[in-house]
Amino acid sequence: MRGLIFFLLLVVTSAVVKAQTRPNIILFFVDDMGWVDTSVPFGDSMVVVNKRYHTPNMQRLASEGIKFTNAYATPVCTPTRISLLTGINAAHHGVTNWTSPVKDRSTDVADDEMAPASWLVNGLSSIKGTAKTIFANTYPQLLKQAGYFTVHVGKAHWGSMGTPGSNPYNLGFMVNIAGHAAGHPQSYLAKDNFGNITGKAVAQAVPDLEEYFGSDTFLTEALTLEAIKALEAPINNKQPFYLNMAHYAIHTPIQGDKRYVQKYIDAGLDSIEANYASLIEGMDKSLGDLMNYLKEKGIEKNTVILFMSDNGGLSLVPPRGGVAHTHNLPLKSGKGSVYEGGIRVPMIVKWPGVVKANTRSDQYIIVEDFFPSILEIAGLKNYNIVQQVDGKSFVSQLKNPGYKNSSRSLVWHFPNKWQPNDGPGINYKSAIRQGDWKLIYNMRDGSKELYNLQLDVGELQNLASVERKKVDALAILLSHQLRQWKAVMPSFKTTGKIVPLPDRVQ
């Protein structure tokens, strides 16, 4: 009898030990945060914009992990968020622009010359056959099946209202706090009930946070408190968890987080930019609170934290203060653009015992890489999914930061009109990066631009006229990929013809 009990104890103990060896995973996902919107330099040194902001907890995370200096998202929200969850490139999944909360509605702005591409305006779906959606499996579904406790907190924006993808419960999450079809909060302020005021509420009124209504709690803080509450159950049950900490910050409306605004006013920023800086610092405080909580619960060493943004910093004036398209300098342009300012974002990974502290990787990677990477971190292999994954795991890069792969190519595809006026790199563009070279294709006039990012991160010197062979080679590579993925293109109103792929234009 005693032997049997001892045997059972051994079995139980080893099961618990096994469960605990699977790491908890937190994706700390910020909305619209630019590459320089932090006091952590992602370039070789601090630049002017870095010095504006205070993100001590990002500094702490970077000092305990690895920062990626060449991490990419897509130019706007929904395409990035779907690539993240499914591992599919935006040109391939077909949700190339942000989705409206209203079903079947394209968010493309009307244009005199171009007729819109037939992109999938309803976003991601967990049910095959849902109109105007991409049907795919998500990694939270796979983590949940494997025994992870999956939590979503904050901005979702994966699908339009009335479609399955609008609800995070349909995408593999067991808890959803404040995520729905909208892409920004109606208000960050609890005194406005985050927008939930009778007669004034619109589709962007933030759901689920009633207990904070009327209080002084900023949205970023409320989401952090709720995330911590949601983690108590899996921690107590010793169940591994995945937390999708998807802040609404720092997307518009640029409202001040009054805990931090005054110091930025005192530092000389205008009121809009001081509010923007306060949104950043509030987000950073959330990161610090979560890191402290992990430590307090004794699970810091078994929790992986990935920090990422969903597109570059907004650089339109207004709603930003200052001079348009300067907010991401030395990178060119901002959100909505295929120039680096629109797509290159801050990324950090902390994985105690695996990632060496205070390291950096200059390898270029892209948001769809998170799908295979997170599954590999969780120890999942041989999963069955309906889609073909375009992302590549960056786990080996985490272990070997100096490794360089210059042959891989990354593709961006934005056959849409995001803003009424074409800003730098904004509206109707495709781009490809291979090694240090980047080619941009302008759908409206067929022109091509070529930059060497190693020598010219600001994309100031277009080398297309001197490096003709490079232009042709990258145009062929980009076209081949877009053809393979059946990427949608706009058409010309006057002729009715579809915009040709870049290898068909001289």
Give the interface with Ca ion as residue ranges (CB under 5 A).
31-32, 77, 310-311
CA-based nearest residue to 230, from 250, 208, 248? 208
Q: What interhelical angle do 77-86 and 370-377 show, nearest 10?
A: 40
Q: Which is nearer to Ca ion, 250 or 487 (CB)?
A: 250
Looking up tokens 């003709």, which residue turns up? 468
Residues 6+ apart with CB under 8 A from 280: 33, 37, 38, 53, 54, 55, 249, 250
Separation between Cα atoms, residue 356 and residue 352, nearest integer Å: 8
Tell me the two tokens of residue 77: 């929200």
Q: Which is nearer to Ca ion, 32 or 503 (CB)?
A: 32
Q: In the 8-state DSSP scheme, what is residue 206?
A: P
CB of 310 to Ca ion, least distance (A): 4
Separation between Cα atoms, residue 321 and residue 327, nearest integer Å: 9
Task: Look at residue 160 and give its three-state secondary structure.
Answer: coil
CA-based nearest residue to 139, from 101, 88, 177? 88
**C-beta atoms surrounding 107 within 10 Å:** 18
Q: Which is nearer to Ca ion, 76 or 489 (CB)?
A: 76
Number of H helices, E strands in the chain: 13, 17
Q: Which is nearer to Ca ion, 287 or 355 (CB)?
A: 287
CB of 309 to Ca ion, least distance (A): 8
CB of 109 to Ca ion, least distance (A): 17
CB of 221 to Ca ion, least distance (A): 20
CB of 137 to Ca ion, least distance (A): 23
Q: Which is nearer to Ca ion, 31 or 390 (CB)?
A: 31
Q: Which is nearer to Ca ion, 36 or 475 (CB)?
A: 36
CB of 250 to Ca ion, least distance (A): 9
CB of 465 to Ca ion, least distance (A): 34
Please identify the residue of the shown chain whose CB is closest to the bound Ca ion.
Answer: 77
CA-based nearest residue to 119, from 156, 180, 71, 76? 76
Q: Which is nearer to Ca ion, 311 or 481 (CB)?
A: 311
Strand 133-135 to 123-125 pairing: parallel
